[in-house]
Amino acid sequence: MLVDEINRATPKTQSALLEAMEELQVSVDGTSRSLERPFVVTAIQNPIEYEGTFPLPEAHLDRFLMRISLGYLSFAEELWVIEQQEKRHPIDELQAVASPEDVIRLREAS
């Protein structure tokens, strides 16, 4: 699952996402449902605009495996990205690099 701008989600929504990450389940109206394995959460946050955001507490941030800051593309890099997507979208050429079973086996090994 990709969570876009997690810091704009309400604390209740953030807690639900953390339940999915930590316990591999979701709860609705007191009923818990297991998530299909493997279940992976990738989240981004907007570090620029803080108005209307709900920063994740420090205790929640430690549940993420890594934190990466990407920065901005240069003008030339932005132009290259636009040119590459004029005729075809890069997602059309993506191929799996690991099967769900591979991911499960790697998790169990760690």
Write down the domain spans for the chain: 2-109
CATH homologous superfamily, domain 2-109? P-loop containing nucleotide triphosphate hydrolases (3.40.50.300)
Measured in whole angstroms, how far is the alpha carbon of residue 105 from the centre of its chain?
Answer: 21
pLDDT reported for residue 67: 85
The series of mean pLDDT values per 10 residues for the chain, 110 residues long, is 88 88 88 89 80 81 83 92 86 90 88
Output the pLDDT for position 56: 82
Which pLDDT does position 70 carry in this prediction? 82
What local confidence, expressed as pLDDT, does residue 60 receive?
A: 81
pLDDT at 51: 77
Residue 34: the pLDDT is 93
At residue 42, the pLDDT reads 87
The answer to whether the predicted template modeling score (pTM) of the entire model surpasses 0.85 is: no
